[in-house]
A and B are shown apart, each in its own frame.
Chain A
């Protein structure tokens, strides 16, 4: 273990301090070293797209940031504070970090509207009336307001994922993590979800997006992080990454997916 030079756990987020900081993060799944000395800083308002081949550790990285995956060593800080290990403090942190899953994971026994209001009412302590008003606004924004009283299974994948984004937004998160948000969608539904994500990015939401959608990375990313075999191989702005990748591994990856 290597200690990081910057002071860990300073109280409030000073200007210029990253919103999300990962320092020397390591994780193993058995013998597989899935995250190897990962260093990553994400500034407030930044949109970071993580791409890379399957099994490169990008989903694990994303899930580690709200501790759905624990890490073996290293530090992960949000707003200057290290992630709590368990209990109320961890729940509090998670309420500030939105998460959008590949498989949507809408609460199957609750209506669309209830999916969006559950967190604000039960975690934030909002009055039901206010939570409903805010939820309807968000559902309007992602274009599924007319479906508010339906159950998740009655919606298409694209609609469900947009509801999932509204559910994350309802918590007013500091950052939203997207774990391959379009990978489980039918092709014709990918764009409706990406459009919502692009508009979020334009509004200045801090986003960490694991995706295979190169178009989204080009259009909305401030920075592209390329991972392979548990390591960050390369990171740069999207234009130079896609036109002039520095590493052989990235050139190889891009060559395989961009030739069609």
Chain B
């Protein structure tokens, strides 16, 4: 077999695009969860209420410093297997949801820090002006602080998204067998002679997936920057 035949053989024997599609779906749902939770945590960390600040800080300390694999395994072996918390009777769906929750919880800590760095780009005077016209904390955050903070946080949020795309392969630890790293392992097990080619396929696949995200967030962060 020449190189083209080998590539053709691998793509016809395994549904590689479907594997990538699973990771894209994992990333999509986990990103939404991480964005919502991470933003809430970021706001908590700058709120005037000390207990909320403490809660936000504790969350980030715990989840940012725990390996993702540990969180994923704890979800499946601890929360599902021991505590019997089940999201769906369908095993595939259940583990998919566990992977999304694990990825979301882990990356929320990084989103929080990205949002907080964005908030730090907003001058103190903006918050003071918002308070001075009588906006309470939440509306001031929603109308004045966060819109500017997100513009300052586009680039770091892009980095979190890139990390999330690649970290979605850790879903294998949560028994999601259809995603890329699981499929890659199966392919290598069955085609030991094509190891290098198999690695290359997945490496190139991820580069194709991730590069546009980086390009997009960099240009977005320039375009959205608040001029002062």
A and B found bound together: yes
Q: Which A residues form the contact surface with B (CB < 8 A)?
A: 66, 68, 86-88, 91-99, 101, 103-109, 118-119, 122-123, 151-153, 167-168, 171
Contacts of A106 in B (CB 8 A): 129
Q: Are the C-beta atoms of B129 and A91 separated by less than 8 Å?
A: no
Contacts of B139 in A (CB 8 A): 122
Q: Are the C-beta atoms of A101 and B125 separated by less than 8 Å?
A: yes
Q: Are the C-beta atoms of B126 and A107 separated by less than 8 Å?
A: yes
Question: Smallest Cβ distance from B43 to chain A, in angstroms?
Answer: 17
Q: Are the C-beta atoms of B125 and A105 separated by less than 8 Å?
A: yes
Contacts of A171 in B (CB 8 A): 133-134
Q: Are the C-beta atoms of B132 and A94 separated by less than 8 Å?
A: yes
Cross-chain contact of B132 among A66, A87, A104, A108 (Cβ < 8 A): A66
Question: Smallest Cβ distance from B142 to chain A, in angstroms?
Answer: 9
Q: Are the C-beta atoms of B135 and A91 separated by less than 8 Å?
A: yes
How many angstroms between the C-alpha atoms of A4 and B94 in the bound complex? 68
Contacts of A101 in B (CB 8 A): 125, 128-129, 132
Q: Are the C-beta atoms of B134 and A118 separated by less than 8 Å?
A: no
Q: Are the C-beta atoms of A109 and B226 separated by less than 8 Å?
A: yes
Q: Are the C-beta atoms of A123 and B125 separated by less than 8 Å?
A: no
Contacts of B144 in A (CB 8 A): 107
Q: Are the C-beta atoms of B134 and A92 separated by less than 8 Å?
A: yes
Q: How many residues of B contact A (CB 8 A)?
A: 22
How many angstroms between the C-alpha atoms of A119 and B125 in the bound complex? 16
Contacts of A153 in B (CB 8 A): 227-228
**Does B198 interact with chain A (Cβ within 8 Å)?**
no
Q: Which B residues form the contact surface with A (CB < 8 A)?
A: 48, 123, 125-126, 128-136, 139, 143-144, 147-148, 151, 226-228
Q: Are the C-beta atoms of A108 and B135 separated by less than 8 Å?
A: no
Q: Are the C-beta atoms of A94 and B131 separated by less than 8 Å?
A: yes
Cross-chain contact of B134 among A86, A119, A152 (Cβ < 8 A): A119
Question: Smallest Cβ distance from B145 to chain A, in angstroms?
Answer: 10
A–B Cβ pairs within 8 angstroms, 24 of them: A66-B132, A68-B128, A88-B136, A91-B134, A92-B134, A94-B133, A95-B133, A95-B134, A97-B132, A101-B132, A105-B125, A108-B126, A108-B148, A108-B226, A108-B227, A108-B228, A109-B151, A118-B133, A119-B133, A122-B143, A123-B133, A123-B134, A153-B227, A171-B133
What are the 4 A-B residue pairs with the smallest beta carbon separation, nearest first? A95-B134, A119-B133, A105-B125, A105-B129
How many angstroms between the C-alpha atoms of A101 and B132 in the bound complex? 10
Contacts of B132 in A (CB 8 A): 66, 68, 94, 97-99, 101, 168
Q: Using CB atoms, name the residue of chain A closest to B227.
A: A153
Contacts of B131 in A (CB 8 A): 68, 91, 94
How many angstroms between the C-alpha atoms of A95 and B139 in the bound complex? 14
Contacts of B134 in A (CB 8 A): 91-96, 119, 123, 171
How many angstroms between the C-alpha atoms of A107 and B151 in the bound complex? 14
Q: Are the C-beta atoms of B133 and A167 separated by less than 8 Å?
A: yes
How many angstroms between the C-alpha atoms of A87 and B128 in the bound complex? 15
Q: Using CB atoms, name the residue of chain A closest to B125.
A: A105
Q: Are the C-beta atoms of B130 and A107 separated by less than 8 Å?
A: yes
Q: Are the C-beta atoms of B148 and A109 separated by less than 8 Å?
A: yes
Q: Are the C-beta atoms of A86 and B48 separated by less than 8 Å?
A: yes
Q: Using CB atoms, name the residue of chain B closest to A93.
A: B134
Contacts of B147 in A (CB 8 A): 109
Q: Using CB atoms, name the residue of chain B closest to A152.
A: B228
Q: Using CB atoms, name the residue of chain B closest to A119.
A: B133
Check A87/B226 contact, CB under 8 A, given A101-B129, A105-B125, A107-B129.
Answer: no
How many angstroms between the C-alpha atoms of A245 and B214 in the bound complex? 66
Check A103/B125 contact, CB under 8 A, given A91-B135, A122-B143, A123-B133.
Answer: yes
Q: Are the C-beta atoms of B148 and A119 separated by less than 8 Å?
A: no
Question: Smallest Cβ distance from B53 to chain A, in angstroms?
Answer: 15
How many angstroms between the C-alpha atoms of A66 and B139 in the bound complex? 18
Contacts of A97 in B (CB 8 A): 132
Question: Smallest Cβ distance from B92 to chain A, in angstroms?
Answer: 44
Question: Smallest Cβ distance from B38 to chain A, in angstroms?
Answer: 21
